[in-house]
Structure 1
């Protein structure tokens, strides 16, 4: 598959901003807090949302290339492609959990083992997207916007139960902890729309 340098560059920018954003949050002095707000208002769109979007683009291009090899070149089997895909997603999920565990131990709060940092969101996005590659681009767009809008209502229903030890509190923790990070319901649509763009690029080239 032909590599697009622009995709790699944009993904690098997204990762750089996410890293820099954390450093700003940790190290900035109180008198310069306005600078943090300004920086986030300008660059935050190329953070987690941009990273997941461009990851969706890249994943769609990779998927179409591999299915071409399965159907046309016939040098690889579909089951092997699927196994490789899910192994990659599982490996990323393990890395995400290790990262979350390190954060939880650092802040002495084990509830943060289940936190929607971008790595865990990306891992679950990879796991979920495979069957959706078989549906049309328009249907994926509809699914993406539907998930995003419905998630707003779910959040408003569950947020009053945050940190409570009941069913609603558990559901909030599973779906939205930590809301200031990158919850799957809110950020998976960016990944999903990215796969649509990736398919469009694949058709053009």
Structure 2
């Protein structure tokens, strides 16, 4: 057994299931700090060093939100299992729905503000709808409740289907978004503010609830062997998902060529090319990242 596995077991032993899990709360706080840092860092740099913000934001703004949404959906598993003994399914459902709807309501308030700050003019009430981080966290609470009704294998299959086919689905919807019916679908799935769009982010709910159940079951067993197995499951799927993200084939808007995820940011898909910034907001980071005083073009991010 490796030292890493021993440390993992040592930090996980004797965790009471009826109390808050300190490690999850800590990682949630870390994810929240990354989100705040990502959005506040721009004011810390002058024009000469602003490219650093683009480089940092490229990493922080998918690590922070994805980690926070992952943990938020995972917490639904613990919430249900803790309250099942003392509460009915209806009470548990109502509590989860109430919490999710409150977070969604807060997100709705922020949507018009975010659109105004970004200079996008969207008429009322359409400007209330937008997949910002708060909207999606609230939605993930509700969706995770229903995702738990499927088996782990079913959720894993659905999660990977969403991951693999979301780029193609979004490209097709974009191509025909001016058609009646498709425009409504585009509005719902992408929204005027696609910071954390429904596709592919909904896959996080499927996958996080799987890890949540594995973690909950392991804590109930409380044996050394169970924690070793949990560590290996987390490590295996973590590596598998990273490799999937790097080598998944992503279609361009014209559907005439596909390329792996690690090549999606390059001169042929930069702003003004085939990727539209209103669909993928972070594509604008390419220009910001490559605009530095040393006149150095970062590999894979050249204009």
Structure-2 separation of matches of 1:166 and 1:21 = 37
The offset of 1:138, in angstroms, is 1.7
2:77: which partner in 1?
A: 60
Structure-2 separation of matches of 1:26 and 1:166 = 42
The offset of 1:179, in angstroms, is 6.6
Q: Aligned pair count?
A: 198
Max radius of gyration: which structure? Answer: 2
Q: SS at 2:55's partner residue? A: helix
- Structure 1: give runs of 5+ residues left out of the alignment: 70-74
Per-residue CA shift, 1:51-92, capped at 9, x if unaligned? Answer: 11111221111112222x1xxxxx322221111121111211
- Structure 2: give runs of 5+ residues left out of the alignment: 1-17, 220-303
Alignment of 1:1-205 (within 5 A): 1-25=18-42, 28-67=45-84, 69=85, 75-104=86-115, 107=119, 109-110=122-123, 111-160=126-175, 164=178, 166-178=180-192, 181-205=195-219
Structure with bigger helix share is 1
Structure-2 separation of matches of 1:25 and 1:141 = 37
Please report the RMSD computed on the Cα atoms of aligned residues, expressed in angstroms. Answer: 2.4
Cα contact 2:147–2:205 (8 A) shared by 1: no
Structure-2 separation of matches of 1:175 and 1:100 = 15
Q: Summarize the Cα distance change of 1:30–1:113 in structure 2 as closer, same or farther, 3 Å threshold.
A: farther
Cα contact 1:151–1:186 (8 A) shared by 2: yes
Cα contact 2:31–2:64 (8 A) shared by 1: yes
- Structure 1 length-normalised TM: 0.84
Q: Summarize the Cα distance change of 1:179–1:90 in structure 2 as closer, same or farther, 3 Å threshold.
A: closer
Identify which of structures 1 and 2 has the higher relative contact order when contacts are C-alpha pairs closer than 8 Å and 6+ apart: 1
Q: SS at 1:182's partner residue? A: coil
Q: SS at 2:48's partner residue? A: helix
